[in-house]
Amino acid sequence: MGILTAIAWRNLWRHPTRTVLTSLTMGLGVAFCIFMASWIGGFLDVMRTATVDRNLGHLQIHHKDYPETMNPYDVVPQAQSVIEGLQDKPDVKIVAPRIQAFGMYAGAKDEAASGSFVGVDPEAEKNLTEMHKRVRKGRWLKNSREAVIGHRLAKELNLDVGGELLVVVNALDGSIGNQVYPVVGIYNSGMLERDGGAMFPLQDAQELFAMGDGVHELVVLTQAEEKIETVQNSTTNAYPDLAVRTWYEISPETKQMEDLTAVTSFFFYFIIMAISGFMVVNTLLMSVYERTRELGLFASLGLPPKRVVMMILIESGLLGVLSSLLGLGFGLLGHLFLANYGITMEIKEGEGFILNGVVLDPVIFGQLNMTQAIIPLVIVMFVSVVAGLWPARRAVKLDPVVALAQE
């Protein structure tokens, strides 16, 4: 085996230019796949953060009719009791109640606008979506009787931190709710609708809408992604009159995007297989043709055909190893560049493109796990060995007499 490996290695370097070009071409294919896996991982993380972590959570609980009607009168009754029941579940990490509606807003001057009205538990929302990190000026909600507003609404009303925001809403008892709130912060959530509205403490919102302890939705974050369906099933059994939906049921487009990236990855792997197989077959067939007399001599000296096959396969395997090492090196360099510097994908200053009404972060940083780096290496090794079977079969079928007579 050692002798065959030595001969195979020597044969690879009979034509160093051809070997280098072949291994470099295959290696660049591997590097490209690793680079793309890093970019796709970073893009998925940005998309998941923007849509799931900042807004949807893992599960959402509503009145059974609310997902279809979005009627502000369809509230989760006795919400505090439901919250306490959810918090008792070991697989539940955070429960954040919300009131979602629309309001009329006015500033100190004549400017007026309509926009989203969101009532939140400041601490729960802070832990769930980290909205406090999205406050660009001022601070996050702490006390009652105060508001934080989206940067789009602030611009429309010409309102700044320290100003007063007049809010007018239709209360659930048929009255007109109105209140003036001091503005303590201006946020940029990355969601178009929310950035055109304002957020308020939950109890103030309940009082303004005259809805008691009811809420429009409960957003649940589980301890792990794998626990989502478990919590969904147990919650549905405990509260059969409520609608309990996962984030991928609420936003199937996000799930479809994730599935599409998996298909894209397989497409790149298929390209690697095709390129690798072609390059290995071409290189080794050329090598076999050039060594016809040598192979005929081996056969005449009694070298068993299986040994010839083994020698060719070792040669193709060494070519695969060399290509994999080059591809891994270049691929990891590309990943390190992405991880540290990222790729800017701005549609305008400070904002990435919009997906389902959510503005993604403008810079995509690479994310890569070991499986994503190993898969293309394994594919190249496998294809290299399998592709070597054709040249090996051709070498075994050589007639020693004819081969020795060839110049």
| Co-location of 308 and 343 in the same domain | yes
Q: Which pLDDT belongs to residue 403?
A: 47
Q: Which pLDDT belongs to residue 188?
A: 87
**Residue 65 tokens, joined:** 């009719």
| Co-location of 280 and 345 in the same domain | yes
| Co-location of 227 and 358 in the same domain | no
- Give the number of C-alpha atoms closer than 13 A to the C-alpha of residue 47, restricted to the C-beta side: 23
pLDDT in tens, 319-329: 888 888 998 99
**Secondary structure (H, E, C), 234-296:** HHHHHCCCEEEEEHHHHCHHHHHHHHHHHHHHHHHHHHHHHHHHHHHHHHHHHHHHHCHHHHH
| Co-location of 92 and 236 in the same domain | yes
| Co-location of 203 and 337 in the same domain | no
Instruction: Note whether 366 and 342 are within 8 A (CB).
Output: yes
| Co-location of 98 and 209 in the same domain | yes
Domain span including residue 41: 2-53+254-405
Rg (CA), the chain: 32
∠ CA 277-283-289 to the nearest 5 degrees? Answer: 125
Measured distance CA(342)–CA(46) in Å, rounded: 12
Instruction: Note whether 365 and 352 are within 8 A (CB).
Output: no
Which of 205, 240, 275 is the endpoint of a domain?
240
| Co-location of 219 and 264 in the same domain | no
Residue-wise over 185-196: b if at least 16 C-beta within 10 A, else e?
bbbbbbbebbbb
**Residue 383 tokens, joined:** 């294809």
Please list the alpha-helical segments (H only) found in 291-368: 292-300, 305-341
**How is residue 343 annotated by DSSP?**
E
| Co-location of 161 and 217 in the same domain | yes
| Co-location of 231 and 319 in the same domain | no
**Is 295 within a domain?**
yes
pLDDT in tens, 340-380: 988 887 666 656 566 655 666 778 888 888 887 888 888 88
**Is 185 within a domain?**
yes
Closest CA to 247 of 94, 100, 60: 60
**Is 133 within a domain?**
yes
Residue 295: other Cβ atoms inside 10 A: 23
Total domain count for the chain? 2
Which of 175, 209, 240 is the endpoint of a domain?
240
Closest CA to 147 of 133, 164, 123, 128: 164
Q: Which residues contact 230 (CB under 8 A, 6 or more apart)?
A: 91
Instruction: Note whether 241 and 75 are within 8 A (CB).
Output: no
**Is 94 within a domain?**
yes
**Is 258 within a domain?**
yes
**Is 345 within a domain?**
yes
| Co-location of 77 and 200 in the same domain | yes
Which of 240, 273, 296 is the endpoint of a domain?
240
Residue by residue, pLDDT tens for the chain (407 residues) are 677 788 778 877 877 888 888 888 888 888 888 888 888 888 888 877 777 777 788 899 999 998 888 888 899 988 888 999 999 999 999 999 999 999 999 987 778 999 999 999 999 998 888 888 889 999 999 878 999 999 999 999 999 999 999 999 999 888 999 999 999 999 988 778 888 999 999 999 999 999 888 899 999 999 888 899 999 999 999 999 999 999 888 888 777 777 777 787 778 777 777 777 777 777 766 766 666 666 666 666 666 667 777 777 888 888 888 888 998 999 999 999 999 988 887 666 656 566 655 666 778 888 888 887 888 888 888 888 877 777 667 666 665 555 455 55
> Environment class of residue 224 by beta-carbon count within 10 Å: exposed (0-12), middle (13-18) or buried (19+)?
exposed
The residue count of the chain comes to 407
**Residue 212 tokens, joined:** 């008691």
**Is 249 within a domain?**
no
| Co-location of 190 and 220 in the same domain | yes
| Co-location of 12 and 36 in the same domain | yes
Side chain identity at 179, as an amino acid letter? Answer: Q
**Is 247 within a domain?**
no
∠ CA 403-406-407 to the nearest 5 degrees? Answer: 140
> Environment class of residue 350 by beta-carbon count within 10 Å: exposed (0-12), middle (13-18) or buried (19+)?
exposed
